[in-house]
Amino acid sequence: MRILFLSAASNIHTVRWVNALAGRGHDVHLAYNADHVPAMDQINKEVQLHQLKYSGLLGYYLNAVQLARLCKKINPDVINCHYASGYGTLSRMAKLKPLILSVWGSDVYDFPYEGKWKMRILQKNICYANKIASTSYSMAKQVEKVMERNMNITITPFGVDTNLFKPVDIQKEPFVFGTVKTLSEKYGIEYIIRGFKILLDRIEEEGFRDCPVLEIYGKGDLEEELINLCKELNLADKVFFKGYIPNNEVPQAINRMDVFCVGSVNESESFGVAAVEAMACEVPVIATDVSGFKEVMIHGETGYLVPKKNAAAIGEKMYELMLDEKLRKRFGRNGRKRVLECYAWKQNVTLMEELYHTMWTDRKMSNKYAN
């Protein structure tokens, strides 16, 4: 099947989708704006890349003519646009049909509430698409909320490669709490750090000799601010900023951890892939109770869900899991079992392929009757 994929080539989610589809023998074409070029994560050489001329917000309008010509030249069987606001607008301006529109998170949770005109743009983009795909049931409900009606939305989870994300026996000394996230406000890294400080103060009072550490993987605009916070809290020698790592190195980083922490503060964390990755490695998770984590985790079975922006709750669960090895192992086993049942990447890609085949079949039938 010939697939035209419209999405940011710099995003690991895009990379994983196009690589998986190319790996299954599909003829995959990836088109993207000029400021979304492939980064560190490698794209399969079989994927044909098409960089559009313009960048920025205007690129979603100015690239329409070039994209329309490209689509006519490729003549794809299926067009899959990812991100309903920006690229959704571009696909509508380019009059791409038939179109599958995959929603991601902030495009439906945040964008439509930034102004009435943005709400109208998003609604037009969603109405224009032939089919809508969402990585989670909670985000599908958000789309229906935006559209103010029930919709037929296909759920296509963004799971993990369980052959890559799996438990590895690594000597863990000292005890390691950790996270792998972009260092931006929406991911609540500050609250993980403050929760860790609460834990350290508590174990110091109780006379613990062995001191845990916190490892933070990722980069972002809050990095300097978070480093300064650690200095203010006298944590500079206990919190380690490890920088950005490509996705294929994430399993090794997670397996170094005894407990994985995610502190997202926005509902636009619509699918908790970070938690899923840790669960696949049999590492227990402390996560905030935003929609994405509530959907993929089971509180008290695969880890703990705590109120967002609540450092004290994070510190409390850190303390509990640090002291109870049996509980950590039970959460870890339960977590991997849940991932194998619901979020194994191969199964998720098959679901997307089935959606493509449905679209392709519908298109062939329409052409048959038209002739």
Who's near 192: CB < 8 A, 6+ residues apart? 177, 179, 214, 216, 261, 262, 263, 311, 314
Q: DSSP 3-state assignment of 357?
A: helix
Query: Is the alpha carbon torsion for 178, 179, 180, 185 positive or negative?
Result: negative
pLDDT of residue 366: 63
Q: Say what the pLDDT of residue 205 is.
A: 93
pTM: 0.86
- Beta-bridged to residue 194, according to DSSP, are none
Q: Where are the domains of the chain?
A: 2-158+345-370, 176-342
Residues 272, 296 contacting (CB under 8 angstroms): yes
CATH architecture of 2-158+345-370: 3-Layer(aba) Sandwich (3.40)
Token pair, residue 131, equals 């089919």
Q: Do 2-158+345-370 and 176-342 share a fold? A: yes
- Rounded CA separation 243/122 (Å): 34
DSSP state of 369: H
pLDDT of residue 41: 63
Query: What's the pLDDT score for residue 258?
Result: 97
Residue among 71, 100, 81, 26 at smallest CA distance from 358: 100
| Helical packing angle, 325-342 and 311-323, nearest 10° | 110
Where is 176: in which H helix or E strand? strand 176-180
Q: Which helix (H) or strand (E) holds 287?
A: strand 285-288
Torsion of CA 15, 17, 23, 27, to 10 degrees: -100
- Grouping H, G, I as helix, E, B as strand and the rest as coil, residue 112 is helix
Q: Are 261 and 215 in contact (CB under 8 A)?
A: no
pLDDT value of residue 365: 60
Q: Give the number of other CB atoms < 10 A from CB of residue 280.
A: 28
Distance CA 49, CA 144 (A): 33
Tell me the CATH number for domain 176-342.
3.40.50.2000
Whole-number pLDDT of residue 40: 65
Distance CA 205, CA 316 (A): 14
Per-residue pLDDT of the chain (371 residues; tens, 9 = 90+): 999 999 999 998 999 999 999 999 999 999 999 999 997 668 999 999 999 999 999 999 999 999 999 999 999 999 999 999 999 999 999 999 999 999 999 999 999 999 999 999 999 999 999 999 999 999 999 999 999 999 999 999 999 999 999 999 887 789 999 999 999 999 999 999 999 999 999 999 998 888 999 999 999 999 999 999 999 999 999 999 999 998 889 999 999 999 999 999 988 777 889 999 999 999 999 999 998 899 999 999 999 999 999 999 999 999 999 999 999 999 999 999 999 999 999 999 999 999 999 998 877 666 655 54
